[in-house]
Amino acid sequence: MRLLFHAASLLFASTALAAPLELRVVGVDGKGIAGTVVVLRSTDPARSIARPVEAQIDQVDRQFVPHVLIVPTGSKISFPNSDSVSHQVYSFSPTKRFDLPLYRGTQHPPVREFERAGVVTLGCNIHDNMRAYVFVVDAQYFGRTDANGAWKVPDVQPGTYTVQVWHPKSREARPVIEQQLRIPAAEPQLVLRLATELRLRAESQVPANWDAY
Amino acid sequence: MKSLVAVLLAVLLAPCARAEVEASLDLRLVDSNGRNSFLDGGLGKLRFDTDDDGVQLGRARLAWRGSPGGNWHANVDVSAWSLDDHNAIDVTEAWLEWRPVPTSPWRSNLKIGAFYPPISLEHRASGWTNPYTISSSALNTWVGEELRTIGVAYELEHRGIADGGQWDFGAQAAVFGWNDPAGVILAFRGFSLNDRQTPLFGRIGTYAYGYREQRVLFSEIDNRPGYHVGAYAKHDSGLELRALHYDNRADPTVFKPGISDYAWRTRFNSLGARYDGPAGLAIIAQWLKGTTDATPDPTNHWGFETAFVLVAREFFGKHRLALRYDDFKVNPDPVSYWKSEKGHALTLGWTWKLREHVELAGEWLQLNSDVGNREELDEPEKARERSLQLALRLTL
Is the domain of A98 the same as that of A160?
no
Out of B101, B105, B161, whose CB is closest to A99? B101
What is the topology classification, in CATH, of domain B29-62+100-395?
Porin (2.40.160)
CB B343 within 8 Å of CB B176? no
Is the domain of A90 the same as that of A160?
no
Is the domain of A70 the same as that of A93?
yes
Task: State how beta strands A68-72 and A131-137 pair.
Answer: parallel
Which residues in chain B have their CB less than 8 angstroms from residue A86's CB?
18, 20, 67
Domains of chain B, residue spans: 29-62+100-395
Is the domain of A118 the same as that of A71?
yes
The residues, any chain, with a CB within 8 Å of residue B383's CB and separated by 6 or more, are B35, B44, B45, B367, B368, B369, B371, B374
Whether pLDDT at B78 is above 50: yes
Q: Is B318 on the interface with A (CB under 8 A)?
A: no
- What does the pLDDT average to over B228-233? 98
pLDDT band at B115 (very low <50, low <70, confident <90, very high): very high
- Determine the Cα–Cα distance for residues B96 and B75; give it in Å rounded to an integer: 7
Q: Is B108 on the interface with A (CB under 8 A)?
A: no
User: Is B125 close to A210, i.e. CB distance below 8 A?
Assistant: yes
Name the residue of chain B whose CA is nearest to A207's CA: B280
Is the domain of A107 the same as that of A69?
yes
The β-bridge partners of B31 are: B388
User: What pLDDT is stored for residue B8 in this prediction?
Assistant: 56
Identify which of B152, B154, B182 has the alpha carbon closest to the alpha carbon of residue B268.
Answer: B182
Is the domain of A124 the same as that of A194?
no
Whether pLDDT at B244 is above 60: yes
User: What pLDDT is stored for residue A208 in this prediction?
Assistant: 44
Q: Which of residues A70, A103, A136 is at a domain's end?
A: A136
Q: Which of B22, B107, B111, B161 to mutate against chain A (most A CBs within 10 Å)?
A: B161
| Cβ pairs bridging A and B (under 8 Å) | 79
User: Is B238 close to A90, i.e. CB distance below 8 A?
Assistant: no
User: Is B103 close to A97, i.e. CB distance below 8 A?
Assistant: yes
Which residues in chain B have their CB less than 8 angstroms from residue A206's CB?
124, 276, 282
The residues, any chain, with a CB within 8 Å of residue A13's CB and separated by 6 or more, are none
Residue of higher predicted confidence among A96 and B6: A96
Which B-chain residues 185-224 have CB contacts (< 8 A) with chain A? none
**Least reliable range by pLDDT among A125-129, A148-152, B149-153:** A125-129
For residue A127, give the 3-state DSSP assignment.
coil
CB A112 within 8 Å of CB A98? yes
User: What pLDDT is stored for residue B185 in this prediction?
Assistant: 94
The backbone torsions φ and ψ at residue A90, rounded to the nearest 5 degrees and listed phi first, read -150, 165
User: What pLDDT is stored for residue B5 in this prediction?
Assistant: 56
Does the residue A15 lie in any domain? no
- Determine the Cα–Cα distance for residues B294 and B272; give it in Å rounded to an integer: 28
Q: Is B280 on the interface with A (CB under 8 A)?
A: yes
Does the residue A35 lie in any domain? yes
Whether pLDDT at B3 is above 70: no
User: Is B238 close to A203, i.e. CB distance below 8 A?
Assistant: yes
User: What pLDDT is stored for residue A204 in this prediction?
Assistant: 54
Which residues in chain A have their CB less than 8 angstroms from residue B320's CB?
210
CB B189 within 8 Å of CB B41? no
Is the domain of A150 the same as that of A121?
no
CATH number for the domain including A114? 2.60.40.420
User: What pLDDT is stored for residue A5 in this prediction?
Assistant: 39
Is the domain of A112 the same as that of A174?
no
Q: What is the nearest CA distance from B181 to chain A, expressed in angstroms?
A: 29
What does the DSSP 8-state code read for residue A175? -
CB B366 within 8 Å of CB B346? yes
Q: What is the nearest CA distance from A45 to chain B, expressed in angstroms?
A: 31
User: What pLDDT is stored for residue B320 in this prediction?
Assistant: 96
Residue-wise pLDDT for A6-46, tens only, equals: 443 344 444 447 889 999 999 999 999 999 999 999 999 99
Which residues in chain B have their CB less than 8 angstroms from residue A125's CB?
99, 101-102
Q: What is the nearest CA distance from B102 to chain A, expressed in angstroms?
A: 7
Q: Which of residues A136, A159, A178 is at a domain's end?
A: A136
Does the residue A8 lie in any domain? no
Does the residue A176 lie in any domain? yes
- What does the pLDDT average to over A115-143? 93
Is the domain of A166 the same as that of A200?
yes
Q: Which of residues A104, A136, A168 is at a domain's end?
A: A136
Q: How far is CA B161 from CA A59, A124, B168, B355, in A?
A: 21, 14, 6, 33
Whether pLDDT at B127 is above 90: yes
Does the residue A12 lie in any domain? no
The residues, any chain, with a CB within 8 Å of residue B248's CB and separated by 6 or more, are B176, B179, B180, B182, B226, B264, B265, B266, B267
Q: Name the average pLDDT for chain B.
A: 93
Which residues in chain B have their CB less than 8 angstroms from residue A84's CB?
20
Which residues in chain A have their CB less than 8 angstroms from residue B166's CB?
171, 201
- Determine the Cα–Cα distance for residues A183 and A20; give it in Å rounded to an integer: 11
- Determine the Cα–Cα distance for residues A170 and A165; give it in Å rounded to an integer: 11
Q: What is the nearest CA distance from A60 to chain B, expressed in angstroms?
A: 13
Q: Is B247 on the interface with A (CB under 8 A)?
A: no
- What does the pLDDT average to over A59-77? 95
Is the domain of A155 the same as that of A209?
yes
User: Is B236 close to A206, i.e. CB distance below 8 A?
Assistant: no
Residue of higher predicted confidence among A80 and B68: A80
User: What pLDDT is stored for residue B4 in this prediction?
Assistant: 55
User: What pLDDT is stored for residue B9 in this prediction?
Assistant: 59
Which residues in chain A have their CB less than 8 angstroms from residue B73's CB?
102, 126
- What does the pLDDT average to over B2-18? 55
pLDDT band at B10 (very low <50, low <70, confident <90, very high): low
What does the DSSP 8-state code read for residue A169? T
Out of A86, A207, A212, whose CB is closest to B18? A86
Which residues in chain B have their CB less than 8 angstroms from residue A171's CB?
164, 166, 236
Report which secondary-structure segment, H or E, holds A50.
Answer: none
Whether pLDDT at A1 is above 60: no
- What does the pLDDT average to over B111-133? 95
Does the residue A10 lie in any domain? no
Count of structural domains, chain A: 2
**Least reliable range by pLDDT among A77-81, B269-273, B320-324, B377-381:** B377-381
The backbone torsions φ and ψ at residue A92, rounded to the nearest 5 degrees and listed phi first, read -115, 20
User: Is B164 close to A173, i.e. CB distance below 8 A?
Assistant: yes
pLDDT band at B227 (very low <50, low <70, confident <90, very high): very high
**Side-by-side strand order, sheet with A189-193:** A150-156, A19-26, A189-193
Q: Which of B20, B107, B276 to mutate against chain A (most A CBs within 10 Å)?
A: B276
pLDDT band at A89 (very low <50, low <70, confident <90, very high): very high
Residue-wise pLDDT for B137-180, tens only, equals: 999 999 999 999 999 999 999 998 888 788 999 999 999 999 99
- What does the pLDDT average to over B106-133? 95
CB A25 within 8 Å of CB A144? no
Is the domain of A143 the same as that of A118?
no
Residue-wise pLDDT for B270-291, tens only, equals: 999 999 988 889 999 999 999 9
Whether pLDDT at B14 is above 70: no
Q: What is the nearest CA distance from B22 to chain A, expressed in angstroms?
A: 10
- Determine the Cα–Cα distance for residues B99 and B268; give it in Å rounded to an integer: 28
Residues in A lying within 8 Å of B, measured between beta carbons: 84-86, 88, 90, 92, 97, 99, 102-104, 121, 123, 125-126, 128, 131, 171-173, 201-207, 210-213
Q: What is the CA radius of gyration of chain A?
A: 20
Which residues in chain A have their CB less than 8 angstroms from residue B164's CB?
121, 171-173
3-state secondary structure chain B: CHHHHHHHHHHHHCCCCCCEEEEEEEEEEEEECCCCEHHHCCCECCCCCHHHCEEEEEEEEEEEEEEEECCEEEEEEEEECCCCCCCCCEEEEEEEEECCCCCCCEEEEEEEEEECCCCCCCCCECCCECCCCCCCCHHHHHHHHHCCEEEEEEEEEEECHHHCCCEEEEEEEEEEECCCCCCHHHHHCCCCCCCCCCCCCCEEEECCCCCCEEEECCCCCCCCCEEEEEEEEEECCCEEEEEEEEECCCCCCCEEHHHCEECCEEEEEEEEEEEECHHHCEEEEEEEEEEEECCCCCCCEEEEEEEEEEEEEEECCCEEEEEEEEEEEEEECCCCCCCCEEEEEEEEEEEEEEECCEEEEEEEEEEEEEEHHHHHHCCCCEEEEEEEEEEEEEEC
Residue of higher predicted confidence among B152 and B210: B152
Can you give the length of chain A in residues? 213
Whether pLDDT at B12 is above 70: no
Whether pLDDT at B228 is above 90: yes
User: Is B276 close to A213, i.e. CB distance below 8 A?
Assistant: no
Does the residue A4 lie in any domain? no
One-letter amino acid identity for A97? R
Does the residue A94 lie in any domain? yes
Is the domain of A40 the same as that of A145?
yes
- Determine the Cα–Cα distance for residues B138 and B190; give it in Å rounded to an integer: 10
Q: Is B10 on the interface with A (CB under 8 A)?
A: no
User: Is B236 close to A126, i.e. CB distance below 8 A?
Assistant: no
Name the residue of chain B whose CA is nearest to A98's CA: B103
Name the residue of chain A whose CA is nearest to B101's CA: A125
Report which secondary-structure segment, H or E, holds A91.
Answer: strand A89-93
Whether pLDDT at B1 is above 70: no
User: Is B20 close to A86, i.e. CB distance below 8 A?
Assistant: yes
Domain span at A80: 54-136
Residue-wise pLDDT for B347-388, tens only, equals: 999 999 999 899 999 999 999 999 999 998 899 999 999 999
Whether pLDDT at A2 is above 50: no
CATH number for the domain including A145? 2.60.40.1120
